[in-house]
Amino acid sequence: MKIYFEQKQWANETNVWITAEDKNGNLHTVKPMEMIFESHEPSKQTGPSLRFSGHFSREFFPAFQEAIIEAGYSVKKPDVEALKNHLEDMRKLVFEAKT
């Protein structure tokens, strides 16, 4: 799966193409769709904003992450080391303070 971005800053829009090649080499592209926010009552249940068919769900997010990086957006991954240090500090505060 490959995702392409086209940013039109003058029009304040971003176009996205989502393509995939099947095992026979045929190229498939997701049909055009509009992402429009609709207001509704908080108690109203709504359907999902995106629904993926078949194996595409497993391929979409890595391809999307790659596309946004290529388009110049940053993707922040959690700083595991900082989380470990924070957890250790909290342990010291809780357990060492009791002694």
Question: Each residue of 20-63: pLDDT tens digit?
Answer: 888 999 999 989 988 888 898 888 888 888 887 777 778 888 89
Whole-structure pTM value: 0.58
Question: Each residue of 66-80: pLDDT tens digit?
Answer: 888 888 877 777 677
Alpha-carbon distances of 4 from 26, 39, 65, 86, rounded to whole Å: 18, 29, 11, 38
With a CB cutoff of 8 Å and minimum separation 6, the contacts of 19 are 1, 2, 3, 4, 27, 28, 29, 30
Report whether 85 contacts 20 (CB < 8 A).
no
